Chain A
Amino acid sequence: MTVTPVADPTVGNLATPVNSSWFTKAFINALPAYRPALSPNRRGLEVGMAHGFFLYGPFSICGPLRNTDYATTAGLLASIGLVSILTVCLSIYGTAGRGPNVQPPDATVDNPPADLFTKAGWAEFASGFWLGGCGGAAFAWFLAGTALVTPLVKIAGGVWSVG
């Protein structure tokens, strides 16, 4: 695997093992943002689920109410709050100017999804993100309350001397 110019050698756009090895291409193109044949709303849903799911932990374990009975509830509400703020940011990005920046094909992503980088597509993505974010946080909140996961929450709390 060597370093070769992507197209025009005089243009500084190189294909390197980092941006175009088989692993990188497989991983990046499998992400919900680039996986082919998904609607923008579905992409947003999946991206939101991942973000909502991982945001719950830090808020509930290290949040200001961590040592109270409301730690889990506060963690859930804080995650939903942050997901909502992120959704507003996504939305105003999509409405500003002539819409989202259209990503050109490059060494990693051969054909970026065209319908995502339009005003309508991005709005769909943002609404899917919000729904997925709230769902992911609620799922994490539910899981962290089960008897199977609660010991792990205590271990994590112990790592930050919170428990």
Chain B
Amino acid sequence: MNFYVAPAPAAGGGRGDPYSPSTGSSVRTLLTGVVNRFQPMTGDFAAAWLPSVLVPLVGIGLPAVAMALLFNVIEARD
């Protein structure tokens, strides 16, 4: 199942919005709907660049420092 195929015209009636009750929402239509909602991962809130800095920092930088310090703690001999 390739999520990145260009969305085909939605089956059944309605404006092709997969979430409108009138459309028989088959799995493909549902996924196509999800694909339509793909947005670049930024927002129009203040300092929209901040998540792209903090997420790697908290996800990679902080664990690396924590692991290094814990290594010293667990290997301490005196």
Contact = CB atoms under 8 A, between A and B. Distances in A.
B37 interface: no
A96 B74 CA distance: 9
A88 B76 CA distance: 18
Contacts of B2: none
A95 B77 contact: no
Nearest to B77: A97
B68 A88 contact: yes
Interface residues of B, number: 8
Interface residues of A, number: 7
Interface in B27-78: 64, 68, 71-72, 75-78
16 contacts: A85-B64, A88-B64, A88-B68, A92-B68, A92-B71, A92-B72, A95-B72, A96-B71, A96-B72, A96-B75, A96-B76, A97-B75, A97-B76, A97-B77, A98-B77, A98-B78
